[in-house]
Amino acid sequence: MPLVVNGQTIDDTVIEQEFSAIKAHYESLGSISCCERDDEFRGYARENITFRALLTQEAQRTIPEPGAAEVTRAFDKLKEEHGGSDQFYAAMGLSPEQDELIRRDLSVNLQVESLRATTCELLPTPTEADCRAFYDENLEQFSDEDEVRASHIFKSVRKTEERETIFKALCEVRLRLVDGEDFTELAREHSDKPAEEIDLGFFKRGELMDEFEVVAFSMKEGEVSPVFSSPHGFHLAKVTGRKSGEPKPFDSVRTEIESELTAQRHDARLQELVDELKKTAKIKYSEPEDGLDEHDHD
């Protein structure tokens, strides 16, 4: 019984699934390594689940259950969004025999959505001044991506015993480049790629292999990289140009900003509601390791 919210028991597996999703999100951002923030992420998981549980309980307490026709419409829409009944059941790992359970979940979801709408209906729509201020404060978010132009020397490594020889040879080439020799001429002489693939042109992040982009985007214009490796072999790169992403015109992102500000205001209002509910909620959490550490909110 690791987490109990007003008598509703949340199974360990639900917390672990939420924890895994949160950790995967932060790992995708490259902001953590290994397990150093697991305790923090498990705390986030418990908070998220508690938030949803309290919101759902309040919805079931204050919002009338939807009628059968409304639930049917929601169910039909869900199937349509998945490309039809067969695709829906396959994607969800469910079967038609579970329709009653699915309908009950949909009924509760409709109550929660109704509570969300009711709670947020009086919030003001973001004004142009609000949107403009957000745009000015987050200009990088609304700018095109930076671009880099680079030239490339590549040597393939087909046999393990060749690695050291090829690496040393490219290190010699690099010294000649640093001393001012022409990159294109040396690339034609030493690269395993054809001449038309020496100049890679301008590219954004995500368009080339990670190993190459990490190096290229960390360099200044005119800089020659160290010799670096990838699963394909050894590389030398020279950055020959950079373009900073230009801000998109405000008018072209106004709708996007308004939607984001509206979502932020809705989230804040729902958090206020849940914070109020917590004041009278009975929430107990016991660490699964020993079952002794409990945190109560009465």
Is residue 161 domain-shared with residue 188, that is, in the same domain?
Answer: yes
Tally the domains of the chain: 2
Comparing 244 with 275, which gets the higher pLDDT? 275
Please check the confidence at residue 29 and state whether its pLDDT lies above 80.
Answer: no
Over range 262-281, report the average pLDDT: 97
**Separation CA 106–CA 137 (nearest Å):** 39
As a whole number, the mean pLDDT across the chain is 91
Is residue 226 domain-shared with residue 273, that is, in the same domain?
Answer: no
Query: Does some domain include residue 209?
Result: yes
| Residue-wise pLDDT tens digits, 179-231 | 999 999 999 999 999 999 999 999 998 899 999 999 999 999 999 999 999 98
Is residue 106 domain-shared with residue 14, that is, in the same domain?
Answer: yes
- At 26 the pLDDT is 84
CATH number of the domain where residue 74 is located: 1.10.4030.10
- At 292 the pLDDT is 42
Please check the confidence at residue 145 and state whether its pLDDT lies above 90.
Answer: no
- At 65 the pLDDT is 96
Can you read off the two tokens belonging to residue 6? 């007003």
**Separation CA 128–CA 54 (nearest Å):** 34
As a whole-number percent, the residues of the chain with pLDDT over 90 amount to: 80
- At 32 the pLDDT is 57
Treating both helix axes as pointing N-terminal to C-terminal, what angle do 38-62 and 12-28 enclose, rounded to 10 degrees? 120
Please check the confidence at residue 289 and state whether its pLDDT lies above 80.
Answer: no
CATH number of the domain where residue 182 is located: 3.10.50.40
The range of the structural domain enclosing residue 19 comes to 3-126+253-297
Over range 270-290, report the average pLDDT: 87
Please check the confidence at residue 293 and state whether its pLDDT lies above 70.
Answer: no
